[in-house]
Structure formats: structure tokens, C-alpha cells
Structure 1
Amino acid sequence: MQAIEITRFGTPDVLRLARRPIPQTGPGEVLIKVTASGVNRPDVFQRQGHYAPPPGASDLPGLEVAGELVDGDFGGDNPFGLGRGNAVCALLAGGGYAEYAVAPLAQCLPVPRGLSPVEAAALPENYFTVWSNVFDRGRLGRGEGGSHETLLVQGGSSGIGVTAIQLAHAFGHRVFATAGSAEKCTACEGLGAVAINYRKQDFVHEVHRHTDGRGVDVILDMVAGDYIPREIDALAEGGRLVFIATLGGSRAEIDVAAIMRRRLTLTGSTLRGRDVGFKGAIAVQLHEKVWPLLDAGTIRPIVHQVFPAAEAARAHALMESSAHIGKLLLQW
């Protein structure tokens, strides 16, 4: 099969099209003939040498794919009744940049009605991440603010951002999102968010202005660094700050007394290294609560550009430029 290898750590041009043996499945695993692969920020970090695959995972980049089930073990945990020939999208721990990929069956979901396999490849990494962090760890809708809690998404035009905006909005929550240009702010607004241009506006001031000084209940943060003290100021009483990346740095000085006094929670997680049982449980929740929204067209993947797989380097360069809105995909 053809695959995209990281020939050495470095800039996007270290990605090369190569030939690899088709991977073999183990117990509880299935083989997918890949139609499209999602491109994500962790792929960039892996290419740069900053995010090694977990033990046992493929050295090839790629955390999500969509395609056709062609082989594997369908006799174990199979909550969605999947079998050979079914169109699926799947979350992986690695190996997605290839014509064939192995995934745990528990991490495969049927392609939602009305979506092409290419569009479906935009779903797993972002939807698993957002559900786990906004609705599970962040408990959006289950905190002191009740069923109409508010969410602030840092980086609202990213793949994670457009997913978080749509999901929170679909579930009846007011959403705020930061973005770095008028075009990106317009895109966030079109998905249901109050957009804040962080290059021209202070997100703390804007959040308090729009909430009559109350603040927001949950913040989904992929920046960290010097954003953290400001985010603490932007939280409402009992608010939750959830970290999923540290693009702005991993260290900050914070006022612990404010956290105690206002009953705030600072938390975060990574997904790639979690076990199949954990990810499979998220898949079940997504299928029950989110897939009907995708089937109905209430929410949808936002695809910025689809590249031929051989042009993975171009996709990575665009990812690093942050000029995109939504997802970047590779098509095989």
C-alpha cells in the first residue's frame, strides 16, 4: 500500500509518499480501506518530533480516517453492528496516512447519513475530543449555570473550534469564540457563536460585556500560557477551564485564592494514549447523542480543503499557517 512517512523530524517537506505492507489486524481490530485521512495539529507535532506515538501504535501519522471495512474481527465489542463492506469513520492512535489502516472496532462509527466518506474523515478526532472535554470533563450544561450554560472556545475557526461551536449551539448553549481575522469571525458567527477578534478585542472584557459581568461557565482552551490568568478572570462562579493543547506554552502564574473563592476547576486531557475502552465509551455517546444531529443535517463537518494524499506536505504547511477554517483532509 501507499503511505505517508515522516522521513526525519522537521518541516513539512520531510513527509514522503512510500510503500508499506498492509497492516495486520489483531483481536478486536478491523482493517479499513481508506478513502480519506484527517489532518490534525498533533500530526504536525509528531512530524516535528514533539509527539511520539504511544507504545504499539504505527509510526505513520494520522489519527482519523474514513473508508470501507474490508477485514478483521467483528465478533467482539460491536455496538453498531458493523461488518465487511460498511462505510465507517474511525479514531486511530496512528497510521491514518495510508491506503489501509487498522483500528479497534470499538472506535469505528458508521458514516452519518448524507455525508461522503471524505466528509466523514473530518469527524472522529474533533468529535471525540470535543465530547470528552467539553461535555464530559467540562460538564457543559451540568454545572452551576444549569442547562443554559455558556462556552468560550479559544480558536473558534480550527477543526476543534468549529466542532465545539456547532455542538454546544445545537444543545442550546450560548457560545463565544475567539478568532484572528474578520473572515474567521464571520465563519464562527455563521455557526452560532458570538465572535471575538482577539487581535482587536480583549476576550475577557467581551465575555463580561455580553454576560452582564457573569462570565462563562466553560472555556475550551488550546492556547494555555499567558491566556490562563485571563481565562480565570473570564470564568463565572463554579466555571471550568479545560486544556486540550499548549500552543502558547505550558506554564503560567495563577491566583489560587481566586480559584478557591470562586470554586473554579482547571482540568484537561489528551486522547491519543487513552485505552480502547475509554474511546469506545465516547463512541457510544457520540452515536447516541451526536450522530442523530449529523444524520439530520443539524450540524456538519466544515471542510476547508481536500488534498491528494501525496500532497500531505502542502496540507501540513497550511495547517501551520493557521489560514484555514475547519478541517484539512487527504484523499487516497
Structure 2
Amino acid sequence: MAKKRDYYEILGISKNATAKEIKTAFRNLAKKYHPDINKSHDAEEKMKEVNEAYEVLSDDNKRRTYDQFGHSGMEGMDQHAGYGGFGSFKDIFSGFDGFNMGDIFGDIFSGGNSGYSSRRSTTPMKGNVKSKVISIDFLESVVGTTLNLTVDQYHNCDLCNGKGYEHEEDIEQCKTCSGLGYQNVTTRTFLGSIRQQKICSTCNGDGVTIKKKCEKCKGSQTTKTTSDIKVGIPAGVENGQELLVAGYGGPGRNGGPSGDLVIIIKVNPHKYYVRQGQNIYLDFPVSIADIIQENNVQVPTPYGIKNIKMKSTYKNDQMLTIKDAGVDLKTEKGNLYITLKLVIPNYNKKELKDVRKVISSKEDTINSDFIKNF
């Protein structure tokens, strides 16, 4: 038989621990190892071990015997049924001053909505946040733009002042919860019966129900209008970035203000430009004739056309930098990097004959040099 662990060690307390410290340690471990919370394979065994240690150390007589003789002193004693399972939990926890079983097990049986003990406050509450995805062009994201949007806007009903009813006689005490705002619910589990308090499903915690709804808002507490607004999109905005527009979200409650609207920016990809951080990249086709003749070529940038002089030394895939033609992030402006893609012009027969004549008079060793060094 495996050697039994020390009870004090199991609860993680010292041998001088007070009764209160023993209870606190047991409560914390019960929350940690209860099988409905902890799904590990050894959780149930650990819980039995914790329960056994508590049964002994919480009883003054058993604790004195254990302190003097250890586990051998416990043999033959009237062992509590709690050693073999969890049936004694309810009795043990009910002895904790000011302790509610829902504190530990509420999340298991009520989806996290335990411990409700009074009417929900009618304090004005701000409305929920709403979101809206807006698509913009790539160039708009670089230089900034202004969006013209039509959005919903909620206002507290001016007839009932955001209450949902016009006169006090238009409401009555909730018949389901008798005006408390909550309902007592008893759940039967292997631990025994657990009694909890939940928000009343009829009055939603208000304690009252409306007999006659406001003629204007029909009990919703708010009225809705549509508004045309302008939203400034800053230069440098990125795909997925969120912008907050205050006051255009969901309706408030109990006279509270409307929530906020979050604009989620979707940047449409550009046909040629690619953005990386504050810099923009462009594959730029250029005629080999412009390279040879060192002509000026027009390069499109987000801020307009830029004239760049070609050089006869430029090679295919060579990268050139146009400073400050990237994304303006206020603190620093990025660059536009263009990668040259050399293209042979579409000459007609006569032009091609002239080109061949010129080229044939010049020695070209590119291929022979490659073969020589291969």
C-alpha cells in the first residue's frame, strides 16, 4: 500500500494553522480539484485526498490524535463518510461563515451567472459598441480621405425620458419574482441540492413589468434616426485598423447614452503597388531604349508623376529609390522603391532592321563570357 501523505502537506498549511486557515485552504483546493472543474484523470483522487485531510484537521479531537500519532492513530476511529466521496461537501461548506455554495459551484451550474442577490440597478447604461466594415482604395489609405456615411443613431425617447413607459401607474410589480429582480433556483447535483439566485427572466432584473408601453418608443426606451456623417480617414491607415466614432453605436438603457461605432478599415489591394510598413514597392517596366539613350521616364507615385532620368548602366531588376514618396506616418515618411523591369520595344520591320544594323556593328560578348566562365 502506498504511503499516505501528510494531511497538512495535502492542504498546504503549517502544523500551527488556525481553523480559519484550514477552511480557507480546503475551499481553495475544492475549487481547484473538483471533477466538474478539473478534467484531469487524477482530479477525483486528489479531491478525495483533500476531503479526507479536511475531515481530520477540522475536527479538534481527530486533529489532536493525528498530531500525536499520525496516520496510525486514525486507524479504527469512526471515519466520516466524506473520505470515500463528496457527499459531505454541502454540510462542510454550509458551516463557512457568510459562504454561499454558488461561490464555488455557480459557474458550473449557471454559466457564470451566480451569486445574484439583489435587484439589478436601474443606473443609466451606455449602449453596446457596433462595428461596420468600410472598404477604401489603396491610394486613399496612403494619402488619407474623408468618408461620407449614413448611419443609425439612437436617442433617449423624449416622451418617456428613456423609461419605456410614460406614467408610474403604467408599471406593476413583476409577478414572477415578486419585485425582487431575481429568482431562487434549486439545482440537484451529486453534491446535493444547490440553491442559487438568478436574474428574473420575466423582468430582466428590474423587479417591475410594463403594463402600458410608451406610445412613442413602444417600450424600447429609445428612438432611431439616420444621420449623414463625415469620418476622416488618416493618411497611413492600415488594413484591419479600427477607428472609433463616438455616439453612433447601440441604444443606451435606462436613459444612458448610445454606444460607439467602430469603423473597421478594409484596404483594397492595388494593381501595382505593394505596401510594407511605411514603404511602397513597384515593379516598373522600362524600355531598353530608354536605358540606352538615358531618357527621362515618368514614374507614378501616390502623390503624382515623378520624372526619373535613366542611366545606361542600369540593369534589369535594379532597384531605385524615390525618397518621401511612401506612406506618411507623421513621425516619418516612407519611400517608394521601384524595381526596373527591362522591356524590348515592339519595333516594326524597318525599325528592327535599323536596330540590327547598329547592333551588328558592336561586339557582344555576353554569351561567350558566360560560357567561358560556366
TM-score range, shorter chain: under 0.3
Greater Cα radius of gyration, structure 1 or 2: 2
> TM-score, structure 1 length as denominator?
0.22
Higher relative contact order (CA 8 A, sep 6+): 1
| Alignment TM-score, normalising by the size of structure 2 | 0.20
